[in-house]
Structure 1
Amino acid sequence: MSACKRVQQWATFARTWHIFDCKWQDPYQSAGVIKKYLMGMHKPIYHPLNDCGDVVVCINSREIALRGEDWRRRAYFHHTGYPGGASWTLAWELHNKDPTMIIRKAVYRAMQGNLQRRHTMERLFIYPGEDIPEDVLQNVTNQIRQLRLVPTRLDHIPEEEVKNYPKVMDYPEDYILK
């Protein structure tokens, strides 16, 4: 076996660490992408009973974006296991209590039908901000592309760039703004 084929085989069977930025991303669309890497569906050796998935680190989960009025209307179910222990929590309340929980629940639900999803979820690390422990950051070797691009705010663009931007038209000298 050539050295190139050996490296390719090693890369296929190794657990790679991926990082995903959740800033301004829909958690339910992102869950499908994260699920693909957690279960190993992006690898040629994938089989539903084979545990060949990778590790995914999600950052900026505090800055997720839900569609429409989902912050006020979407409710999450939780049961303690005791009689009368059922509760429904609105998305904004759950996000204020734990900013990582909406992403965690979306990925868990996306893996419905996977017999190993509890063990697969152990390879998912979610952080509310950009502060990641150094030992986790050292293992990351790949970045998962965001589904939506995050736009740059106008107040973050330098003034020189704004002034040098080509104008569509110039207002006359005697123009008065009303």
Structure 2
Amino acid sequence: MSLTKRVQQWATFARTWHIYDCTWQNPFESAKVIKSHLMGLHKPIYHPMNDCGDHVVVINTKEIALPGDEWIKRVYFHHTGYPGGASWTLAWQLHEKDKTMVMKKAVYNSMDGNLQRRHTMQRLHLFADDQVPKEILDNVTSQIRQLRQVPQRLDHIDKETLESFPAIMDYPKDYILR
């Protein structure tokens, strides 16, 4: 086997580490993209019985954006296994308790029907903010593109850029703003 083919084969079978930023992203759409990397669906050697998925590091899960009024309408079910142990928790309450749990449940539910789902979830690394341990960041080799572009806030733009931006109209000097 030639050297280039050997490197290509090694790169195909190796577990790579990806990073994904959840800032202003819909967790259910993001879960589909994360699932494909966790399960190895993006690799040419994928087979349902083959465990060839990669690691995914998800940052800024505290800044996810649910569409519409999903924060107050989406309910998560949990059962302790004991009689009377059923409980339902609203999405905003779950997010207040644990900033990573909504994203974790979205990824877990997106892998419906996967027999190795519990083992696949061990390769998912969730962080509420962008503070990731150095030993994990050293492994990351690629970045998964965000599905939705994050707009820049006006209070984060410097003053020179705002003043040099072309004005739509010039108000007269005697104009009074109400």
TM-score category by the smaller chain?
A: over 0.9
2:76 alignment partner in structure 1: 76
1:53 alignment partner in structure 2: 53
Cα distance in 2 between the residues matched to 1:143 and 1:60? 14
Alignment of 1:158-177 (within 5 A): 158-177=158-177
Cα distance in 2 between the residues matched to 1:52 and 1:103? 22
Pick which of 166-175 and 101-110 moved more. 166-175
Cα distance in 1 between the residues matched to 2:133 and 2:172? 57
SS in 1 for 2:138: helix
2:21 alignment partner in structure 1: 21
SS in 2 for 1:56: strand
SS in 1 for 2:56: strand
2:43 alignment partner in structure 1: 43
Q: Structure 1 residue 84: deviation in Å?
A: 1.1
Cα RMSD (Å): 1.0
Percent identity between matched residues is 67
**TM-score normalised by length of structure 2:** 0.96
1:97 equivalent in alignment to 2:94:
no
Cα distance in 2 between the residues matched to 1:173 and 1:129? 46
Cα distance in 2 between the residues matched to 1:46 and 1:140? 21
SS in 2 for 1:62: helix
Q: Structure 1 residue 73: deviation in Å?
A: 1.1
Q: Structure 1 residue 32: deviation in Å?
A: 0.2
**TM-score normalised by length of structure 1:** 0.96
1:111 alignment partner in structure 2: 111
1:155 equivalent in alignment to 2:152:
no
Superposed CA deviations along residues 113-163 of structure 1, whole A, max 9, x for unmatched, are 101000000000101111111111110111000011111100100000011
Equivalenced residue count is 178
